[in-house]
Amino acid sequence: MSMETSRETEQQALAWLTRQEIGPWSESDQSGLDEWLRADTAHRVTYLRLEAGWERTGRLKTFSVGAAPGVVPRPGEWRRSPFFEHRTVSAAPSAVRRSAVKVAALAAGILLATGTASYLTGIFSGKVYETALGVVTSIPLSDGSSVVLNTGSKLRVSLSKKERRIELEAGEAFFDVAKDPSRPFVVQAGERTIVAVGTRFSVRKDGADIKVILTEGRVRVGPGANGGAAELLVPGVTVRTRNQVLVVQKSSLQEAEQALSWRSGYLTFDKTSLADAVAEFNRYSPQRIVIDDPRLAALRISGKFRSTYAADFVQVLQKGFGVQVERVDENIHLTSN
Amino acid sequence: MGEPLDTWFKCEVIVHDEALTRYLRRHWPYPDDIYDLRQETYVRMYESARTHIPAASRPFLFKIAQRLMADRIRKRRIVAIDSMVDLETSRVAVDDLSPERETAAHQELRRLADALDRLPPKCREVVWMCRIDNMSRKEAAAHLGVSGKTIEKHLMKGMKRLIEAVFGDVGVSGRHSLEEAEKRATTVRVLSKDTDQEER
């Protein structure tokens, strides 16, 4: 229980955010902030709330398009902005790539940093977001949607007046799509397109195959290159392609949420084969877990693990299942007794 | 920073901020308490998520808020009947659970732009330069011919107002006295008779 009032805590959090925004920001500032956040959960939740709000104010950058830096328009002048007339607002494309180590407010500042003239003509090269192994990051988009990008993933975002187009080049992403019937939200994963209006869903790309999990609303999964039917998804249904053939799988919403627990840094297994579980962990680290004994591959695992703590997982295998663990170079090899 | 739980919290919990604040305002007759209640709801949500992440964050969040209010009612002993009834039915109003987004994207932008324009002129300039033109403290200070400290002060104020606009929170707290809150409440009754202890 905090000794401060919520208002006092909020003032402190605002002071941290302000200094983070305009600098100077040193390592000792960062550790000061970390310490303050750890001191009290009330600090942390207050800070996170304000940080999330501040990230969303980044959409104001829309108005700087075409204006010279340092020239502040008069109040109300932005109303003449063409973007406002059309009700919908597009992103200012930026060439900034994110290594995504920092999810801090700073990063949100960089995200929409450079409004350019291409914006006005509707030509988009698209913004690219990439995550390193083991990193899960959230990206607010200027249309009000947000993306949570999983480990080792790459995404290209182009927002125009007619369409919101996302290209999932690698990995996995969860989309929380802001409703905008005039601008469909199209995710391209390999040869498949997934079209949504306002909904929450994830797309994962494994080589040529994709997997779509929906938790809310409706999406349509388009046909592949060699034809086939389009599939309309409702919550609780998972669609995946295996060798480019569409497979529809019924699952409970609970199962869908479990499959999406990576968003909070966890992997959830429910009678998952060790082979599949290991493949999941291997997505999060350059260090590989290798199953040397084929008999082990069929072992069924249930439980929830931190995605970046493969060591914990291996320890469970060792203690709970009597699996032999051997470290060779950087990798972990598993054999049975 | 970079706690996975933090990302989850921002994506899955804070998105419901506007609805949560509205829910608290509707059911709690004392506007001065709203921010404390909201913060405490978040604290409990976060603490609980450390051990288990709820499958559906929104109903869970409202449940926590509801329980907090019920606790306070028990401690306070005096409360408006109308808010009591709602809490006792132990159901969260249906519209509070709607999965719809609170605000369409263009509305949020309009709210932001309006909030920006309502800032005092110097404050507005500073926000523009720092947030929109990405100037550093030093650059903004040089541009406006003021100290870095002044920039910080203005930005902090502007930041607060813009964030309030994002969350659609105009901030009622402080405007109503406790007496007004009591008047607002249609009926007041003593809830528990087993204690003589007076609060307030």
User: What is the CA A246 to chain-centroid distance, rounded?
Assistant: 25
- CB atoms inside a 10 Å sphere around CB A229: 10
Strand partners, B104: none
Higher pLDDT, A70 or A277: A277
Instruction: Give the pLDDT score at A206.
Output: 85
pLDDT in tens, A83-99: 444 333 333 333 333 33
The pair phi, psi for residue A282, each rounded to 5°, is -65, -15
- B154 pLDDT band, cuts 50/70/90, is very high
**Residue B142 clears pLDDT 60, i.e. is over it:** yes
Least confident residue range of A198-202, A260-264, B48-52, B89-93:
B89-93
Instruction: Give the pLDDT score at A86.
Output: 35
Name every chain B residue with its beta carbon within 8 A of the beta carbon of A70: 129, 133, 135, 143
- Distance between CA A243 and CA B171 in Å, rounded? 55
**A54 → closest Cβ in B39, B110, B163:** B163
Residue from B132, B139, B169 whose CB has the most chain A CBs within 10 Å, to mutate: B132
Residue from B51, B156, B163 whose CB has the most chain A CBs within 10 Å, to mutate: B163
Higher pLDDT, A270 or B142: B142
CB contact under 8 A, B9 and A45: yes
Q: What tokens appear for A95 in the block?
A: 């060439």
Name every chain A residue with its beta carbon within 8 A of the beta carbon of B125: 72
Place of tokens 């998804």: A233
Instruction: Give the pLDDT score at A251.
Output: 74
Tell me what percent of the residues of chain B surpass a pLDDT of 70: 67
pLDDT in tens, A156-199: 998 888 889 999 999 999 998 888 777 888 999 988 888 886 68
Size of interface A-B (CB pairs under 8 A): 203
Name every chain B residue with its beta carbon within 8 A of the beta carbon of A198: 100-101
Q: Which residues contact residue B10 at a Cβ distance below 8 angstroms, ignoring those fewer than 6 apart?
A: A48, A51, A52, A138
Instruction: Dump strand ranges (E) for B28-80.
Output: 78-80
Instruction: Give the pLDDT score at B98.
Output: 39
CB A89 within 8 A of CB A60: no
Q: Mean pLDDT across chain A, nearest whole number?
A: 77
- Distance between CA B34 and CA B169 in Å, rounded? 11
pLDDT in tens, A284-293: 888 899 998 8
Higher pLDDT, A12 or B101: A12
pLDDT in tens, B35-68: 999 999 999 999 999 988 888 888 999 999 999 9
Higher pLDDT, A208 or A8: A8
Place of tokens 């397109």: A193
**Residue B185 clears pLDDT 50, i.e. is over it:** no
3-state class (DSSP) for residue A241: strand
Strand partners, A140: A146
Q: What tokens appear for B48 in the block?
A: 């609980």
User: What is the CA B95 to chain-centroid distance, rounded?
Assistant: 18
- CB atoms inside a 10 Å sphere around CB A200: 21
Sheet bearing A324-328, strands edge to edge:
A289-291, A331-335, A324-328
SS (H, E, C) A137-168: EEEECCCCCEEEECCCCEEEEEECCCCEEEEE
Distance from the A113 Cα atom to the nearest Cα atom in chain B, whole angstroms: 7
CB contact under 8 A, A180 and B104: yes
